[in-house]
Structure formats: C-alpha cells, structure tokens
C-alpha cells in the first residue's frame, strides 16, 4: 500500500542510502544533490510559491552535455512513487 501521510521518508531514505548531500532548512524544506551534482531534489512542503502551483517535489537534472529538464510532483503523489522515479533515474542516468 502506498503512503498517504505525504511524508518524505521513502525518498530521503533512498537519497541518503545513495550518498546524496541532504540539507534541511529551518522552514522544514529539504534540498538534496546527487554526488556528481547533476541531480537536485527538493521537498518543498513549506515553500509558498510551490504550494500555489501544487508542487511538493521538484527534481532538476542537468546532464553534462545537454539541456536541463525538470519533473515536478504534487501533494497527492505518494512518496514511494517519487522514490521509484528517482531510483529509475539514477539507475539509468549517465549524467
């Protein structure tokens, strides 16, 4: 069963296990960067501009030789789904 508590646990556990740099802000937002610096993940539950656009998760990929792209997930996207997306991304990424 997928989580309905809208917590960041599954994603943060994955990123921590992968050795990503993770920073918590005083506002309770979380920013994470992959070891190679190519991927950024933001969990933004307390960012007013993100909430206004129904965004809680912000993923930004900057390939070494290509254009950056962004994927955003809303409040109702289970954290397990975001973790699955990120697991697939890092498994198949040549950033």
pLDDT at 52: 83
SS3 39: strand
pLDDT at 92: 73
pLDDT at 95: 67
Q: What does the pLDDT look like over 10-67, one tens digit per residue?
A: 999 999 999 999 999 999 899 999 999 999 999 999 988 887 888 999 999 998 888 9
Helix or strand (DSSP H, E) at 57? strand 57-61
pLDDT at 3: 56
SS3 24: strand
pLDDT at 64: 83
């Amino acid at each position: 069963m997928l989580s309905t508590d809208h917590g960041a646990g599954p994603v943060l556990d994955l990123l921590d296990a992968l050795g990503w740099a993770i920073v918590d802000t005083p506002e309770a937002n979380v920013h994470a960067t992959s070891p190679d610096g190519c991927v950024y993940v933001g969990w933004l539950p307390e960012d007013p501009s993100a909430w206004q656009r129904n965004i809680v998760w912000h993923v930004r990929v900057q390939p070494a030789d290509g254009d950056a792209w962004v994927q955003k997930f809303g409040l109702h996207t289970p954290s397990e789904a975001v973790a699955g997306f990120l697991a697939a991304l890092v498994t198949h990424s040549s950033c």
